[in-house]
């Protein structure tokens, strides 16, 4: 849940950017790249990753109530939706960098979609999902999951920069 708080702070900055882009009819590509990196690596890979690869995986082994099973499926679909929007955001940014200013409105639309979507997703998890779920797990199971979360986080920085070097090698050694 405290990771949600950092995601909310980034979303606030996105809302600020929407106003700025509207005023200037142009984007700050560095902000877009930074926001995309945050959403992809922190919000998606690190945060949704722990939810899907550890929490939802273990929940999948439990006999969930119909309501909890439904919410879990919705959350997985919502994560996919967020990935699609970020993909569209990157596409629009690339077009702008190639001189197509007509897609500035697409950037605004993507930033708006993200800042509308995430608070609802976060509220669903914080208020209707995470706490009742604890009931499905024993104290030992909760501790084991927490340890796995730490391990998952610990590996993230290595994953990010290994991928970064690999991508640079692919593009620069051509």
User: Where do contacts with Fe ion occur on this chain (CB under 5 A)?
Assistant: 51, 125
Q: How far is the CB of 100 from Fe ion (least distance, A)?
A: 33
Q: Which residue blocks in the chain are alpha helix, DSSP H?
A: 2-24, 29-37, 49-50, 57-59, 66-97, 104-128, 130-133, 139-172
CA 167/CA 27 separation, integer angstroms:
25
Confirm if 92 and 103 have CB atoms less than 8 A apart. yes
- Residue 51 or 72 having the CB closest to Fe ion: 51
The token duo for 62 is: 């439990």
Cα separation of 138 and 143, whole Å? 9
Q: How far is the CB of 161 from Fe ion (least distance, A)?
A: 24
Tokens 């199971």 sit on residue: 141
Nearer to Fe ion, 7 or 107 (CB): 7
Q: To the nearest whole angstrom, how small is the minimum distance from the Cβ of residue 79 to Fe ion? A: 6
Instruction: Identify which of residues 39 and 51 has a Cβ nearer to Fe ion in the complex.
Output: 51
Of 83 and 95, nearer to Fe ion (C-beta) is 83
DSSP 27: -
Smallest distance from the beta carbon of 66 to Fe ion, in angstroms? Answer: 20
């Amino acid at each position: 849940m405290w990771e949600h708080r950092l995601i909310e702070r980034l979303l606030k900055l996105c809302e600020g950017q929407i106003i700025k882009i509207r005023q200037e009819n142009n984007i700050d590509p560095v902000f877009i790249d930074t926001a995309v990196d945050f959403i992809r690596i922190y919000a998606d890979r690190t945060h949704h990753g722990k939810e899907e690869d550890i929490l939802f995986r273990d929940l999948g082994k439990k006999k969930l109530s119909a309501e909890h099973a439904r919410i879990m499926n919705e959350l997985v679909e919502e994560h996919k939706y967020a990935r699609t929007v970020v993909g569209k955001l990157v596409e629009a940014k690339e077009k702008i960098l190639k001189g197509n200013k007509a897609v500035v409105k697409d950037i605004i639309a993507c930033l708006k979609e993200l800042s509308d979507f995430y608070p609802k997703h976060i509220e669903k998890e914080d208020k209707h999902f995470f706490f009742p779920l604890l009931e499905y797990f024993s104290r030992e199971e909760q501790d084991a999951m927490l340890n796995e979360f730490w391990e998952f986080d610990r590996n993230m920085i290595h994953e990010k920069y290994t991928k970064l070097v690999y991508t640079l090698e692919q593009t620069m050694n051509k």
